[in-house]
Amino acid sequence: MKLVFATHNLNKLHEVQLLMPKNVTILSLNDIGCTEEIAETAKTLEGNAQIKADHVTKNYGMPCFADDTGLLVDALNGAPGVYSARYAGEQKNSDDNMNKLLEALITTDNRSAYFKTVIALNLNNQSIFFKGKVEGSISKVKHGDGGFGYDPIFVPNDYDQTFAQLSIAIKNKISHRGKALQKLINYLKTLN
């Protein structure tokens, strides 16, 4: 089975390819010739995931899944949330986003946060959602050089290292995206 993962992010693509069963070939947006940036205009993670999946299904006629992820920080009333990728501006720069978040938390001891991922799958003329969540906290400084996004400042509960310090195998097992992907994979296995 060929499935498009609606992303240009090679790090996310690599994480997903490592988890997928061998009978599922994952194609990126680049692989199908979709070079445009798909606007994420919804006010929810579910809405943004659906927009991206629908764009591929409608314009390229292929089964597709898309994800949207938010980092929700308790002391910031759930911000950056749906705006996580562009928290510090439309340039979507991870360092700028982390710096802005660390600055926003400088006067508080409440550093609890969680990541939430929503995957929208368009397959066989229906849309299905899969969700994953991981609780943790925001460190005071960046640690590690693995991963992407907010990984250098997010410490999952029961760990003393950030996502950027943990191995990709551990991250995939415990992360929000890993949990949502496992639900997607389990669903795909029922189709064979």
pLDDT-derived band at 12, boundaries 50, 70, 90: confident
Residue 192 has pLDDT above 70, yes or no: no
Active-site residue identified among 31, 67, 68, 109: 68
Read off the pLDDT of each residue in 118-129 and give the average, rounded to a whole number: 96
Q: Within the chain, what is the greatest distance between any pair of CA atoms? A: 53
CA angle 28, 82, 60 (to 5 degrees): 30
Residue found under tokens 């993962």: 5
Q: Which helix (H) or strand (E) holds 70?
A: strand 64-73
- Predicted local distance difference test score (pLDDT) of residue 30: 94
In sequence order, the 6+-apart residues with CB closer than 8 A to the CB of 30 are 8
- Predicted local distance difference test score (pLDDT) of residue 16: 84
Q: Which helix (H) or strand (E) holds 95?
A: helix 94-104
Residue 95 has pLDDT above 70, yes or no: yes
- Predicted local distance difference test score (pLDDT) of residue 14: 84
In sequence order, the 6+-apart residues with CB closer than 8 A to the CB of 103 are none
Range in 8-17, 94-103, 181-190 with the lowest mean pLDDT: 8-17
CB count within 10 Å of CB 82 equals: 21
Spatial separation of the C-alpha atoms in residues 104 and 88, rounded to whole Å = 11
Spatial separation of the C-alpha atoms in residues 167 and 144, rounded to whole Å = 11
Question: For the chain, which domains are there?
Answer: 2-189 (3.90.950.10)
CB count within 10 Å of CB 37 equals: 9
Global pTM reads: 0.89
pLDDT-derived band at 3, boundaries 50, 70, 90: very high
* pLDDT single digits (tens) 124-183: 999 999 999 999 999 999 999 887 899 999 999 999 999 999 998 898 889 998 899 999
- Predicted local distance difference test score (pLDDT) of residue 18: 81
Q: Please report how many Cα atoms fall inside a 13 Å half-sphere around the Cα of residue 187, on the Cβ side.
A: 18
Catalytic residue at 160? no
Please report, for residues 3, 26, 74, 168, the alpha-carbon distance to residue 23 in angstroms, rounded to integers and kept in the order given: 11, 10, 40, 22
* pLDDT single digits (tens) 14-73: 878 887 888 889 999 999 999 988 988 999 999 999 999 999 999 999 999 999 999 999
- Predicted local distance difference test score (pLDDT) of residue 90: 86
